[in-house]
Amino acid sequence: MDMSWQELLRKRSIASLEALAERFGPEHVGDIERLKQAAENFEFRISPAMVDLIREPGDPIWQQYVPTVQELEVEDGIVDSLAEDAHSPVPNITHRYPDRALFLVSPVCASYCRFCTRRRKVGDPEKIPMAQLESAFRYLEEHSEIRDVIMSGGDPLLLSDRRLDEICARLRAIPHLEIIRIGSRVPCHLPERITPELCAILKKYHPFYINTHFNHPDELTPAAVKALGMLADAGIPLGCQTVLLKGVNDDPAVMKMLMQKLLTARVRPYYIYQCDQVAGAEHFRTTVEKGLEIVRALRGWTSGLAVPHYVIDAPGGGGKIPLLPEYVEAMDDDQVVLRNYAGKTYVYQQPHQLEAAPLPVEFEPVMVG
C-alpha cells in the first residue's frame, strides 16, 4: 500500500544534521555542533523528492536546503527585510499594495529553503498562529478595496483538504474578493500532495491561481510535471516565482533551460526575484548586473512567454520594482535609436507633430428687426 503524503513527508524526509551526515557522509556536512546553531535559527527539513534529487554534496539542490555556517555571518542582512510586520494590521495579514493582501495560513513547509525571506517566522507555529485566523478574515471582509488575496505561509498546500476547503469557502464568500491565489513549493517539494481530491476542491473556487516556485531545471521531475499537469487540468493558471541564487541558477544557460522547461510543464514564468537582503541568506545574493545579464540572455533568444519580470522586492517594504536592460540608445523628438537582443541598432521614427488647424471663427448672432 502506498504511503500517504503525510507519512511520506514524516518518514522519508531528512530533518536532522545527523541524518544528513548518515546519508551523504559526515565529511560533507562539516562541524555538526556549529551547524546546529544555524539549524536552530531556522527550521531544517529536506523533503524526500529533494533528497532524491541531490546528486552530490554542494550541487544546486544541496545548496538550497543544507545549513551552512555562512548563515551565522550577518553583514547587511535584515531580519524582516521586506517590512512585512510593519504592514501587518492584524496577525497573518500583510497589506502593502492598494488592492491585494497577503494571508499567511500555514506555518510549515515540506522543505525549508535556506534563502527564505520569512525565515524569522516560518516553521514556528507561534509566529504564524493558526488560532488567530478569524481576525484576518474580518480584516479582509471589512476592507472592500482588497480584490485579490494571496495565501502563503509556510506552504498552504500542506494544510489538510478539509482545512483548505474551509478557508477557500470563507474567502470566496467575501463579495469583493475577485481573485484567490496560493503561493506554494509543494508541486516541487512534495508532488505526491497534488491529488485528484485536492484538485477537485480547488477548482470549486475559480478564479483561482497558483504561483509555484522552481529554481533549477532538475526540479522539474516527472512527478513534479505530473502534479503541475493535474493542477492545470483543473483549470488553475500556473505561474512560477524563481529566486536568483548564487551557485544555484546564476547562469544564463541554466535559467534559460528552467524557463523553457516550465513552459512545457504548462507553467508561465512570472518573476525572477533578486535574492532578498535577508539576514542569514546573504551568501546567496548575486549582483544585480548578473540578473540583468540573465534577462538579456532570455529576451529575444527564446519565446517571450519564457521571459519573466526581473524584480527587486525593495528592502523596507517598497514593493516589487522591475529591472530591465537598457535597449534605448538615444531618443529625441524625431526618433528613437534602439538596440535589439542581438546588439544591432535600429531607428524608430517618432510621429510628426502636426500643427493644429485653426478653430473656426464664431460669430455673434445678428438680430434683424
What CATH number does the domain containing 129 carry?
A: 3.20.20.70
| Domains of the chain: total | 1
Residue 65 lies in a domain: no
Q: Which pLDDT does position 360 carry in this prediction?
A: 63
Q: Assign 46 to helix, strand or coil.
A: strand
The pLDDT tens digits for 12-33 are 999 999 999 999 999 999 889 9
Residue 120 lies in a domain: yes
Closest to 147 in 3D by CA, of 102, 199, 101:
101
In this model, does residue 325 exceed pLDDT 60? yes
Residue 318 lies in a domain: yes
In this model, does residue 365 exceed pLDDT 80? no
Q: Assign 93 to helix, strand or coil.
A: strand
Q: Which pLDDT does position 357 carry in this prediction?
A: 62
Residue 11 lies in a domain: no
Q: Which pLDDT does position 366 carry in this prediction?
A: 53
Neighbours of 110 (CB within 10 A): 27
Residue 280 lies in a domain: yes
Mean confidence (pLDDT) of the chain:
94
For 193, the grid coordinates are 500532495
Max mean pLDDT among 71-75, 185-189, 364-368 falls in 185-189
For 3, the grid coordinates are 504511503
Residue 136 lies in a domain: yes
Residue 3: pLDDT band (50, 70, 90) is: confident
Neighbours of 137 (CB within 10 A): 18
Range of the domain at 137: 85-322
> Who contacts 253 (Cβ-Cβ below 8 Å, separation ≥6)?
297
Residue 336 lies in a domain: no
Instruction: Give CA separation, 62 vs 56, 196, 224, in Å.
Output: 8, 31, 18
Matching residue, cell 548563515: 71
Residue 294 lies in a domain: yes
**AA letter at 74:** V
In this model, does residue 356 exceed pLDDT 80? no
Question: What mean pLDDT is predicted for residues 273-299?
Answer: 97
- What amino acid positions are annotated as catalytic residues? 96-97, 100, 109, 113, 116, 118, 276, 313, 320
Q: Which pLDDT does position 362 carry in this prediction?
A: 60
The pLDDT tens digits for 185-244 are 999 999 999 999 999 999 999 999 999 999 999 999 999 999 999 999 999 999 999 999
Q: Which pLDDT does position 352 carry in this prediction?
A: 84
The pLDDT tens digits for 327-337 are 999 999 999 99
Closest to 179 in 3D by CA, of 241, 227, 236, 107:
236
Beta bridge partners of 104: 152
In this model, does residue 35 exceed pLDDT 80? yes
Beta bridge partners of 211: 183, 239
For 249, the grid coordinates are 541558477
Residue 309: pLDDT band (50, 70, 90) is: very high
136 with 89: CB under 8 angstroms? no
The pLDDT tens digits for 93-150 are 999 999 999 999 999 999 999 999 999 999 988 888 888 899 999 999 999 999 999 9
The pLDDT tens digits for 334-354 are 999 999 999 999 999 999 876
